[in-house]
Amino acid sequence: MNWQELANQLRQKLDGQVLANAPMKHHTTWRVGGPADLLVIPQTVKDVHETLIFTKHHQLPMMAIGNGSNLLVLDGGIRGVVLKLGGGLKSQYLDGNFLIAEGGAMLPSLARMALNGSLSGLEFAVGIPATLGGAIVMNAGAFGQDIGSLVSQVEVIDFEGKQQILSRDELTFSYRKSSLQDKNIIILRATLQLKPGISEDIAASMEAKLSFRNNMQPLEYPTAGSVFRNPVGDYAGRLIEAAGLKGHSMGDAVISTKHANFIVNRGNATGREILTLIRTIQERVFEQEGVMLVPEVLIVGEER
């Protein structure tokens, strides 16, 4: 299939970007990943609609991602169309105690908007490099809080082009999970319900959380955040450290010496190297602690 020709055709229908054979290492926070046959970064909801129509007409597989911050793309890349909301679909505004934003809006930006409006609730999200849509699907959280607890409603579109609004009562959220997971849907817009607060207190809470992240997490290297979910009553990082794996490496992929639940890319790590470390951690922790760690990151694409 001539992906460049398909990219040219789709590009004429959209305001956003369309890239053929786009290396996903440029579109994930881990900075690894082979090429997507077609990468679309929509600027409008109409762009999303047009992409869905185009994809269906050409019978192409499709995947929607946020900012690529919770994603391991393997070295063979992704077949078909990748719709990346991060970088597009990012309008956001306040309406009373509600924050309404498109699915590609970034959580730190939303947290700052809430602060400017003296609204509390999003302080925990100020350091999470995720889109609103991706965060809701995965129920992203930190410091004992999560985005799902704030969701009032979401506007979604499925891969067939059907659009609908789902109220809070139609959604369920649990630890790093939501009822929207594993469904062929894209979050176009969401409404978060916040609470009035004192801006000085909100700002102080955000600064404290950012400081904690800087001290505890290896932010100087590309990562995908926490690699594994915390088991009930324990911490993945503690288990990995207890298994003696801190600093263990595979090529340029290294289990962080700062926080064992992070795998960092020291420069030229590959998807295979990171995947090997993930499997090594699972095997070693299971052997020594009897706990099978479950990845928090999504592993997608093909091996080379």
Does residue 223 sit in the same domain as residue 211?
A: no
pLDDT at 182: 85
Structural domain ending residue among the three candidates 84, 107, 132: 84
Give yes or no: residues 239 and 159 share one domain.
no
Looking at the structure of the chain, the number of domains it has is: 3
- For 263, the domain range is 218-300
Question: What is d(CA 266, CA 279) in angstroms, rounded to the nearest whole number?
Answer: 19
Residues 159 and 202 in one domain: yes
Ramachandran quadrant class, 59 (left: phi over 0; alpha: psi -120 to 50; beta: rest): left
Q: Are 194 and 283 part of one and the same domain?
A: no
> Is the domain of 264 the same as that of 178?
no
Q: Based on the domain organization, do 125 and 204 belong to the same domain?
A: yes
* Same domain membership, residue 97 and residue 200: yes
pLDDT in tens, 204-257: 999 999 999 999 999 999 999 999 999 999 999 999 999 999 999 999 999 999
189 and 127, same domain (yes or no): yes
% of residues, the chain, pLDDT over 90: 98
Q: What is the pTM of this model?
A: 0.93
Mark whether 96 and 206 lie in a shared domain: yes
pLDDT, tens digit (0-9, with 9 covering 90-100), for 67-95: 999 999 999 999 999 999 998 899 999 99
CATH code where residue 245 lies: 3.90.78.10
Residues 197 and 293 in one domain: no
Same-domain pairing of 208 and 254: no
Q: Are 225 and 296 in contact (CB under 8 A)?
A: yes
CA–chain centroid gap for 207, Å, is: 22
Q: At 193, which CATH number? A: 3.30.465.10
Q: Catalytic residues, which ones?
A: 176, 226, 296
Question: Which of the listed residues 186, 215, 244 is the one where a domain comes to its end?
Answer: 215
